[in-house]
């Protein structure tokens, strides 16, 4: 497959400009003066910036390439992404403002920080951090995979793709180290404008180019490939899988370290409520992107098309150099910018909840800030190494990551509302949930349900069954976070003050 030089030059130019903006965003030394400034921007971002930032780290290149590939191969099963994200934002409306209020009051920058203070347990905090970092590295790998695939389609014959991927991610690591969360926040503005403009242009133009209209395209699908328009009633991914995948993915969405990072940048609880209302607008793009998979199925030769490259191949097949370049640049930025936010989240977890809580409890603020920033290179380096060595394992590991991350939901979200939830039952539930999830994954016996569902069900049962044993001890124990959460006057005053 020969690349297109014009497309490659346009893609490269846009990506380099955006990376330069990432460096410029951190020119003020205050952006790296502390962990709170570097990781969550001093909690000063308004509703629009939070909307752009959270949208940038949740809607990645894998979202667009993966959904198109899934639609190309499996049809309407790809639509599970729509109910899961809507459900996730609905749930977030009720718990994120409360979580943000506690984090703001007690200067917490990770979910593991919250667990440590809520349960007086460094062990639980470190366990959540280890799970968060391990599950996030394959997700970062998928962003690497996204830009690698983009460069392979755009630049084959002109560049060494692996060398350019390594250089791109090194530059992202460098501007993240330098600028902190401000870098991906301001570059997310460009990325999101391109996503909306280019994706909408594609979903309008491609049906017209290949079928004459959207109506003709749908008619062709219904006639030639009706299986794409229905969810299977049998097999490993039928309706039960669709429902449980949507539920588990929704509950896991804001458990990811990069999603929590975006949440903690908000300047008020009200910003998060507004985001819960308006973030579902991104689903307009998602729905239309799935239809691009249907178009690819009808237009591209199935015997020679790699399903993983369905969207990129469709772009190459349909547009000239300028159109290709703008589309490839959009996908490349949807890889690089989320990678930066994910690296911040993983680095923050490691430095605060593994290095400080387990290795060096007496670390000074400046040293901790430098360790947090430096871990960006380690996290991205590990992701690069793993992705280049085991490229075929990335998608399955990321799906396993969703099932793994949902296991911290009881420790984070349920504990916001259940005063007497004990650390002992929470730790036991988390461990059992992880063991069950990995066992189901290893054996492949999920009985038609999403594997993380079995882990979460086991997790919740353990918490409910064991909690009464430790309830008396837990009821007597108190701390600042519990007082903030369960003192009605405190919670209401904090929420109103930060609305």
Residue among 81, 11, 67, 143 nearest 310 (CA): 67
What is the per-residue pLDDT for 394? 53
User: Please, which residues have CB within 8 angstroms of residue 35's CB and are 6 or more apart in sequence?
Assistant: 109, 348, 351, 352, 365, 368, 369, 372
What is the per-residue pLDDT for 63? 80
What is the per-residue pLDDT for 281? 87
What is the per-residue pLDDT for 476? 63
pLDDT per 10-residue tile (average), the chain, 499 residues: 81 91 84 87 88 81 83 87 91 95 93 95 94 87 82 81 84 90 88 88 92 91 88 81 92 93 92 91 86 92 83 92 92 88 92 90 90 92 78 63 93 94 95 95 88 95 94 74 79 56
Q: What domains are defined for the chain?
A: 5-393 (1.20.1730.10)
Residue among 156, 392, 201 nearest 315 (CA): 201
Is residue 45 classed as helix, strand or coil in its secondary structure?
Answer: strand
What is the per-residue pLDDT for 123? 94
What is the per-residue pLDDT for 219? 92
What is the per-residue pLDDT for 157? 74
Max CA-CA distance within the chain? 70
């Amino acid at each position: 497959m020969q690349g297109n030089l014009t497309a490659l030059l346009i893609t490269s130019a846009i990506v380099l400009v955006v990376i330069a903006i990432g460096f410029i965003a951190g020119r003020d030394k205050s952006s790296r003066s502390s962990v709170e400034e570097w990781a969550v921007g001093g909690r000063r971002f308004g509703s629009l910036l939070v909307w752009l930032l959270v949208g940038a780290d949740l809607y990645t290149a894998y979202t667009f390439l993966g959904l198109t590939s899934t639609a190309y191969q499996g049809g309407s099963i790809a639509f599970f992404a729509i109910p899961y994200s809507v459900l996730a934002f609905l749930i977030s409306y009720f718990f994120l403002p409360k979580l943000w209020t506690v984090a703001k009051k007690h200067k917490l920058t990770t979910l593991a920080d919250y667990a440590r203070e809520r349960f007086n347990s460094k062990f639980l905090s470190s366990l959540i951090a280890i799970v968060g970092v391990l599950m996030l590295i394959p997700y970062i790998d998928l962003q690497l995979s996204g830009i690698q695939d983009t460069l392979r389609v755009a630049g084959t014959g002109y560049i060494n793709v692996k060398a350019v991927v390594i250089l791109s991610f090194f530059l992202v690591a460098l501007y993240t180290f330098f600028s902190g969360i401000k870098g991906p926040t301001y570059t997310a503005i460009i990325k999101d404008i391109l996503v909306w403009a280019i994706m909408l242009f594609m979903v309008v133009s491609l049906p017209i180019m290949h079928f004459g209209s959207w109506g003709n395209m749908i008619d062709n699908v219904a006639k030639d490939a009706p299986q794409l328009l229905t969810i299977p009633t049998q097999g490993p991914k039928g309706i039960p899988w669709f429902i449980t995948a949507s539920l588990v993915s929704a509950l896991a969405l804001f458990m990811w370290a990069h999603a929590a990072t975006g949440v903690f940048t908000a300047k008020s609880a009200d910003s998060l409520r507004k985001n819960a209302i308006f973030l579902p607008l991104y689903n307009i793009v998602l729905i239309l992107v799935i239809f691009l998979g249907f178009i690819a199925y009808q237009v591209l030769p199935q015997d020679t098309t790699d399903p993983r490259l369905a969207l990129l191949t469709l772009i190459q097949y349909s547009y000239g150099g300028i159109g290709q370049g703008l589309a490839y640049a959009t996908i490349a930025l949807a890889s690089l910018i989320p990678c930066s936010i994910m690296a911040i989240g993983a680095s923050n977890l490691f430095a605060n909840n593994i290095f400080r809580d387990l290795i060096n409890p007496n670390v000074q603020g400046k040293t901790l800030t430098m360790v947090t920033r430096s871990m960006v290179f380690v996290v991205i380096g590990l992701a690069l190494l793993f992705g280049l060595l085991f490229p075929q394992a990335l998608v399955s590991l990321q799906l396993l990551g969703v099932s793994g991350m949902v296991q911290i939901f009881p420790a984070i979200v349920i504990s916001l509302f259940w005063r007497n939830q004990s650390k002992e039952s929470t730790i036991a539930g988390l461990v059992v949930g992880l063991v069950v999830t990995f066992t189901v994954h290893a054996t492949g016996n999920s009985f038609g349900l999403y594997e993380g569902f079995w882990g979460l069900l086991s997790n919740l049962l353990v918490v409910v069954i064991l909690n009464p044993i430790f309830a008396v001890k837990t009821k007597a124990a108190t701390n600042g976070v519990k007082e903030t959460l369960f003192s009605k006057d405190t919670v209401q005053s904090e929420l109103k003050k930060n609305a």
